[in-house]
Every structure is written in structure tokens, then in C-alpha cells.
Homo-oligomer: A and B are copies of this chain.
Amino acid sequence: MSEFLFFVYARKSGHSPALHSSGRSGYAAAMMSQERILQAHGGGGELTRRLLAAHVLPRLGNEWLNPLTDGAILPRPGGRICFTTDAFVVQPLAFPGGDIGVLAVCGTVNDLAMMGARPLALSLAMVLEEGLPIATLDTVLDSVAAAARQAGVAIVAGDTKVIERGAAAQPGMTITTAGLGEVSDSVDLRAARVAPGDVVIISGRIAEHGLAVMSAREGLTFETELLSDVAPLNGLTADLLAAGVDVKFLRDPTRGGLAGLLADLADEAGWSVEIEEAKIPISPAALHTADLLGLDPLTVANEGKLLAVVPASDAETAIQALRRHPLGRHAALIGRCTDSAPPLVELLTRAGGRRLVQRPYGEELPRIC
């Protein structure tokens, strides 16, 4: 059913064809396909080679991946390197605005970007459930390829394993990506540098990824135009850093949402953070959907937004740099760091009240990424 929902969204919405055009026909083909993943596709034998040759390499192939050796040899990087990994278990595999393939690329590219790194290479390991339609795999791989192209980074190493069919209604998959990036010497992102008076900037409208996935899962298809914001942020961070802004803290509000990230900021910087609810960019569709689902948008995951802390004197430069980029059009200053002790996060509400913002305790939204 979730695959069907995807179409409704995809047809209604004007989402990026670069990332999602393959999804429309791909998931339709998957539904009708007879070809399914077998245990033997993950066995490392002839059938694994055929799967790679017919499905993976035509989509992701490059000089490093094609030889199917144990690893990719890359030239010596120009500076310090950044190394990161993320596992992706999102359900359903496709959701309004993206799928697990886009997410797996963007999640890791964004981890690199938030460390101030320029992505050099990604790895991609897939654990497929037996019975997964091969056309679904193809569609996910198309998304991986499109997202990697958008981020300007190659998949240079990979692995494919197959496990028995799980408990879910449809056979699924999980993807783990790792990323390697290069960090320029001028980047110094340490929360310890944050000081009272520094301002907090968000690059755009919040909560769209988590709400889009939850809408798909809850069948709220016709209620909303909401799409996941999943996107690679390395271009946006490069622009921000190139503008000469003294970025002291740079993170993306994924799991745990803006609330979780602000709690991290207060913890790590050792200063309080004061946020103005009225300044937090959020679309009417997101507000409406959060209301329908009974969720606090502050705790909902984003996959294409960054939060930066910069000196107040750099605020305008930072916001202008972000707004010039298509992914930063709605960038806004939402608050500032203060010396009120102990270090806490306070929200000045629209109604003029104050409330404490806390890190969500556990799983507001399971399997959101």
C-alpha cells in the first residue's frame, strides 16, 4: 500500500525530477515484477556477480566500483579527512519526496557536510530481505545514483547481503552508507567556541521529512502536500563557509529534530539557548500534519536542513549566503545563546510564554531514517 501512496504524492507534487523521476515508473514496475531477490543473490557466488553486473554497476558503476575488488584505492587527500557512517531503516522504503536510496546518500553526505567536509567518496552496503522485487532494488539504486550525482560524489565501495523475509507485510531492505570527506584547515567547528550572544540560524522549514514519512505510514495521502526535505547539504555548507562566516557549530536536525539538536548545543556549548517560536520556519502543511498526527514539530526529523551558530556580527552574511542557495531559501535567525544558568533550551512561544525544550526521550517516530 505504501508503494501506491508514493504515486499519489509523486503525481500531486512538483518534487525534484532529478531525484525522484525514476521512482514513479520504478515502483510501479516493482509491483508487477516477478523477479525477486533470493538468498543466493547475497552468497558471493555467480548469482551475486550477475546481480551486481546487471543491476548495480549499470547504475552506480565507476572506475573504483567496477573492478569489484575488496576496496577502492583513492589518491592522497589534500587535507584532514572526515569519516562517518549511518544505517538507514526507513519504512516504507518510498515516501513522499524520496526513498531509502536518496536518504542513504544524503544522510551520509550531510554528516560529512556538518563536519565542514567536502565529500570525496561513499560506500554503500545493502541488506536485502529475500523476496524483495528486483525492480524495487533497481528503483532504490536509481535514487542512490541520482542523489550521488546531485551531491557530486561517487559510490566507490559496496556490499550486498540477503536475509530471510522479516515480519513486515512487504520484504524490505536496510542500507548503511559510510562517507569520506576532506576538511579544509580553516574549518573549526567546536561547540566550546560558542559564546553568549552568538545567534542560531536554521536553513529552512522544519519537520518535513518525519512528517512526510509518518503521513505515508498513516495513510494521510490526500490530506497534505507535504514532501520530505531530503537533500544533500554539501553545496549549502560550502557556500556558507566560503562566505567567510565564522561558523562555530554546524549540525543537521535529523532524529530528535530541532529540539534534540538544541539540547545537544546547550550541553556541548555549556550555554543556554533561547529560541523564538514565531521565527522558526515551518510550512502550513507541516503545521497541519503535525497537528493531525499529534506530533511536536520541534521533535520531528529533518533530512535537508542545517542549524548553524555564528557570531551576531556574521548573522546577516550567513543568512544571505544560505538564502542564495535553492536549499536555503527560507533560512532564518531563530534565537541566540545566553549566559543564563544552568544551560537549558527555552522557547519563547507565539503566545508570549516560555517553555523548556527537552531532548525527546526515545522514539517519537520509529524508522524515520
Partner of A125, one of B164, B176, B180, B363: B176
Which B residues are CB-close (under 8 A) to A165? 167
Q: How far is the CA of A279 from the CA of B88 in the complex (A)?
A: 45
Which B residues are CB-close (under 8 A) to A125? 85-87, 176, 178
Q: How far is the CA of A181 from the CA of B123 in the complex (A)?
A: 14
Q: How far is the CA of A222 from the CA of B293 in the complex (A)?
A: 55
- The answer to whether A84 and B112 have CB atoms under 8 Å apart is no
Residue in chain B with minimal CB distance to A179: B71
Residue in chain B with minimal CB distance to A261: B44
Report the minimal beta-carbon distance from A142 to chain B, rounded to whole angstroms.
20
A209-250: which have CB < 8 Å to B?
none
A281 at interface, CB cutoff 8 A: no
- The answer to whether A69 and B362 have CB atoms under 8 Å apart is no
- The answer to whether A76 and B83 have CB atoms under 8 Å apart is no
A352 at interface, CB cutoff 8 A: no
Counting every copy of the chain, the complex holds 2
A348 at interface, CB cutoff 8 A: no
**A-B pairs with beta carbons under 8 Å apart, 28 shown:** A41-B362, A41-B363, A42-B89, A44-B360, A46-B362, A47-B363, A48-B255, A71-B117, A72-B84, A73-B82, A73-B183, A74-B81, A74-B83, A76-B77, A76-B78, A83-B121, A83-B123, A84-B157, A85-B159, A85-B178, A87-B126, A88-B161, A89-B161, A89-B162, A162-B366, A166-B167, A167-B167, A176-B176
Seen from chain A, the residues whose Cβ lies within 8 Å of a Cβ on chain B are: 38-49, 69-89, 110-112, 114-115, 117, 121, 123-127, 156-168, 174, 176, 178-181, 183, 251-252, 254-256, 260, 301, 359-367
Which B residues are CB-close (under 8 A) to A301? 44
Q: How far is the CA of A104 from the CA of B142 in the complex (A)?
A: 28
Q: How far is the CA of A174 from the CA of B125 in the complex (A)?
A: 11
Given A43-B365, A164-B166, A72:B79 Cβ within 8 A: no
Partner of A80, one of B41, B73, B86: B73
Which B residues are CB-close (under 8 A) to A112? 70-71
Given A43-B365, A361-B46, A86:B163 Cβ within 8 A: no
- The answer to whether A46 and B360 have CB atoms under 8 Å apart is yes
- The answer to whether A161 and B362 have CB atoms under 8 Å apart is no
Q: How far is the CA of A158 from the CA of B108 in the complex (A)?
A: 12
Q: How far is the CA of A77 from the CA of B74 in the complex (A)?
A: 11
Which B residues are CB-close (under 8 A) to A166? 163-164, 166-167
- The answer to whether B81 and A181 have CB atoms under 8 Å apart is no
Given A112-B71, A159-B87, A181-B71, A43:B364 Cβ within 8 A: yes
Report the minimal beta-carbon distance from A146 to chain B, rounded to whole angstroms.
21
Partner of A43, one of B80, B121, B360: B360
Which B residues are CB-close (under 8 A) to A176? 85, 87, 125, 127, 159, 176, 178
Which B residues are CB-close (under 8 A) to A156? 83
Residue in chain B with minimal CB distance to A254: B44
Partner of A366, one of B43, B76, B252: B43
- The answer to whether A85 and B43 have CB atoms under 8 Å apart is no
Given A71-B179, A176-B125, A256-B45, A161:B87 Cβ within 8 A: yes
Q: How far is the CA of A163 from the CA of B172 in the complex (A)?
A: 11
Q: How far is the CA of A367 from the CA of B162 in the complex (A)?
A: 8
Report the minimal beta-carbon distance from A262 to chain B, rounded to whole angstroms.
13
- The answer to whether B76 and A81 have CB atoms under 8 Å apart is yes
Which B residues are CB-close (under 8 A) to A123? 83-85, 178
